[in-house]
Structure 1
């Protein structure tokens, strides 16, 4: 079932935490005793998709605070929409409903559906690369190697070269996707890395074979992408990160590991193949015929 909260606001709620000096008569918070953590917990537990129609910039801090509460509770990210005029409202609501149904359909198709999931609080502050908040562990790094081309995909295996490494990894994840938690870390003390662990507690999703399958998909995608851009000769290119496998000596846990890439990111496709049509990209959205 798809659940949507569509919130329209031209002013922030009570409490100085939620605004920048808006002349609040109740700076200590809601006079009825409403608590933002309890309210957001209810949204997270019911898996409600929260859309906020922004009329002016006085509500920016409020939504930031709401978002921090929701993400700390593993709730859905708040979708902020700009409501320029009343005439735009029907279009905004319709687009929000369509997007939510599409995402719900994707989740229902997902391999993790019905699985028991890890309950871990996400904390964005762990993206600060503070080594004092990291555990130091011995680990084995398995580097994925594929020397063939497109014509070799069907019959040539991907090899995994093994080496012992020292790993620093944050105590808490800074983000969570549909199937994995993401942690900051340092490989051999210096290289900033992102480590991802399965969100499922199912033994099937915590084996070396499961992680190798994910990595093999990334490797083959890179081979196909390189061939694609070799044929069409565009200046722009799509690159796939090199993803490898880590096994922690002390616990036997598995993670994928990749280099940290800073910047703002847009998700173009989810794990079930649903495309992001909100932002146009000539490189990612165009069909080429040879």
Structure 2
């Protein structure tokens, strides 16, 4: 008998169980994925928290560095502005208006030729001393009152050296008639010039005094205008106008007859202006006189521009009470201290580098001298195998802001730059070493 296969069809209930099983499997799979995802999410959150903390720390450090950088930049900017201000002042001090006031009568021909022949050399020598020199030249020649106005004066307002040379080459000398000349008229023409630069110099060269008995001890025969400016009002007015213009007056003296005139001018000035006299006959030519006159004027102006007031008298300051001992101490009785020594070195760009060194130092107990701001002590410093005697300075004030490190550093840096500039200046050729060659 043949065997028959039996077929039992799936019911709906069987299908539902299978579907539920698949759904459960899917749910389990998803749950596992969720658990793994949560773990991964937790790891990511932890990493994010750490990164955030690191970012905050880095941001804080960066902010601190930025603040420090900004503070440093402000200090550098301020320092640069101060240095630029000094450089500007130095350049201004080398901006010169130089006027020659000269007697243009026959006896003065030699000296007028000196000015003409040496003006180029004079400017070049000055430029070796003052690299930023900006100089303008003017010429006023005076003669006598009896001449027509167009012949009485030769006037060239401030100009360059080439134009100046050409003009002076054409200046004529004339006989005046009497001995005295119209000096006061020449001063009036000087006052009327276009003075502009900060350094204003008048070089007056003459061998005869002004008309008027106030200005000489000569007889009336030597002065056809003996009563000229009897009350001194003209001379007084001219001198005070020069003072107002801040003109430095230098007189090249040739004869003693002009001495009383200069004395009168100084009386008019009432110590508000000096008139420096130089006996120019001792020079082979006027070049040394002119160079030294201009150099001294520039140096004086530079000093005035850079001078700092040592203290403000309106403020009460607490000063140290000390006993002075001018004798150098016996160093064997003074113990040595190991200290950090800070030095600055300056380069050609006036940039200072700070250098630290360890030295042994002995300091006297009492100062031996004092200045306007500081006390000076004897000191003995030893570095490696070298000993050096030094002067150590300390501010006299006792308030907190007087002896801070920054104040000493600023002073040290300024002195380093000043020392560097002084050494550079000393390398420049001196006028005394010049050989004046006369071209034949």
Compare the two structures and name the one with the higher helix fraction. 2
- Shared fold per TM-score greater than 0.5: no
Larger CA Rg, structure 1 vs 2: 2
TM-score of the superposed pair, with normalisation by structure 2: 0.27
Q: Which has the higher contact order (CA 8 A, sep 6+)?
A: 1
TM-score of the superposed pair, with normalisation by structure 1: 0.39
